[in-house]
């Protein structure tokens, strides 16, 4: 199974032609579109979404991931194998930071073997010419070791790892979804450790501003227009406004530091 994630959208032909390359090399492939609506060039957003989405895929899955503002430059084209036998193919620009940290790294290869590329490689479409063929051949069972020489390091993005100090929880805005809900990288379990109970008030601090919210199970547990915090379907804290737009209220786009503690 190949999970496909990009910032290409669907207006152009890019997604379709990359899939055509995969099927030409691996006719039995199953391709699952995770999303092609990553904000253009937003590697941070992509790394958070990739971690959440990948956890629902079976062992042995291959992830074709293309958010590649540095295409054609000196940045490496890599394939990364994690300890749970997932395979991630894409640019070495920090996109794989979180899956590497979460699943552990088993092996990393720079894609240099011409057999894992199209015969003619363009300078600006490595998603079609390098990454799609590599993902297709890994999925078809080609030896991972033949992709290219082994790498000992990979590019990582800095991020505010979720933690709790003296009852105050710190994390970051992972991304904003299509409803304006603010997704964080804070596991819901941290609220229990902080002694915050369901249906209680919490103080949320973003960009130096403090907001009052209710910690609850789901959107409809508060009145329309009310700010809430809950553990989303991936187990991370989500900040939302019932039938409203939390991102507009908090004035965030992604990457901002977030603080949360018991309401005062």
The per-residue b/e assignment along 105-121, b for 16 or more CB within 10 angstroms, e otherwise, is beebbbbebeebbbeee
Instruction: Say if residue 11 is in the same domain as residue 138.
Output: yes
Contact 25, 140 (CB under 8 A): yes
CATH of residue 223's domain is: 2.40.30.90
Q: Token digits for 38?
A: 């990553």
- In the chain, how many domains are there? 2
Instruction: Say if residue 138 is in the same domain as residue 180.
Output: no
Instruction: Say if residue 97 is in the same domain as residue 140.
Output: yes
Q: Token digits for 126?
A: 């490595």
What pLDDT, on the 0 to 100 scale, is given for residue 264? 78
Domain assignment present for 157:
no
Nearest Cα neighbor of 232 from 159, 196, 183 is 183
Q: What number is the average pLDDT over the span 181-190?
A: 94
What pLDDT, on the 0 to 100 scale, is given for residue 77? 98
Instruction: Say if residue 24 is in the same domain as residue 137.
Output: yes
CATH of residue 84's domain is: 3.40.50.10790
- 77-82: strand order across its sheet: 31-35, 2-6, 62-66, 87-91, 77-82, 105-110
**Across 37-166, where does the E strand assignment appear?**
62-66, 77-82, 87-91, 105-110, 163-165
> CA-to-CA distance for 262 and 101, rounded, in angstroms?
29
259 Cβ neighbours under 8 A, 6+ residues apart: 168, 169, 170, 204, 205, 206
Domain stops at, among 146, 177, 195: 146
Report helix angle 14-25 to 132-139, nearest 10: 40
Instruction: Say if residue 124 is in the same domain as residue 238.
Output: no
Instruction: Say if residue 134 is in the same domain as residue 12.
Output: yes
Instruction: Say if residue 75 is in the same domain as residue 169.
Output: no
Instruction: Say if residue 141 is in the same domain as residue 168.
Output: no
pLDDT digit string, tens, across residues 130-143: 999 999 999 999 99
Contact 65, 94 (CB under 8 A): no
Domain assignment present for 151:
no
Q: Is 89 helix (H, G, I), strand (E, B) or coil?
A: strand
Quick one: what percent of the chain has pLDDT higher than 90? 91
pLDDT digit string, tens, across residues 84-130: 999 999 999 999 999 999 999 999 999 999 999 999 999 999 999 99
Q: Which residue segment(s) compose the domain that 242 sits in?
A: 163-262
pTM for this predicted structure = 0.94
Domain assignment present for 153:
no
> CA-to-CA distance for 255 and 159, rounded, in angstroms?
8
Supply φ then ψ for residue 92, to 5 degrees. Answer: -90, 75
Contact 87, 141 (CB under 8 A): no
pLDDT digit string, tens, across residues 34-82: 999 999 999 999 999 999 999 999 999 999 999 999 999 999 999 999 9
pLDDT digit string, tens, across residues 205-239: 999 999 999 999 999 999 999 999 999 988 999 99
User: What's the first-to-final CA gap in the chain, in angstroms?
Assistant: 49
């Amino acid at each position: 199974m190949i999970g496909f994630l990009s910032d290409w959208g669907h207006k152009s032909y890019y997604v379709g032609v990359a899939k055509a390359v995969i099927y030409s090399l691996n006719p039995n492939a199953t391709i699952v579109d995770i999303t092609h609506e990553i904000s253009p060039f937003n590697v941070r957003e992509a790394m958070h979404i990739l971690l959440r989405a990948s956890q629902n895929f079976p062992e042995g899955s291959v992830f074709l991931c293309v958010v590649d503002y540095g295409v054609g430059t000196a940045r490496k084209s890599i394939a990364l194998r994690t300890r749970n036998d997932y395979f991630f193919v894409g640019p070495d620009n920090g996109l794989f930071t979180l899956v590497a940290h979460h699943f552990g790294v088993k092996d990393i290869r720079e894609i240099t073997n011409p057999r894992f590329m199209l015969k003619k490689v363009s300078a600006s479409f490595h998603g079609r010419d390098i990454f799609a063929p590599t993902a297709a051949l890994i999925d078809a069972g080609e030896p991972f070791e033949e992709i290219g020489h082994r790498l000992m390091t990979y590019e990582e993005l800095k991020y505010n790892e979720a933690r709790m100090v003296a009852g105050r929880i710190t994390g970051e805005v992972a991304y904003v979804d299509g409803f304006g809900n603010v997704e964080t990288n804070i596991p819901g379990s941290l609220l229990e450790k902080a002694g915050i109970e369901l249906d209680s008030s919490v103080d949320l601090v973003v960009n130096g501003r403090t907001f009052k919210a209710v910690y609850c199970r789901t959107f409809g547990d508060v009145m329309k227009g009310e700010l809430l915090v809950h553990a989303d379907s991936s187990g991370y804290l989500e900040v939302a406004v019932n039938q409203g737009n939390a991102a507009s209220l908090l004035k965030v786009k992604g990457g901002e530091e977030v603080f949360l503690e018991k309401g005062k």
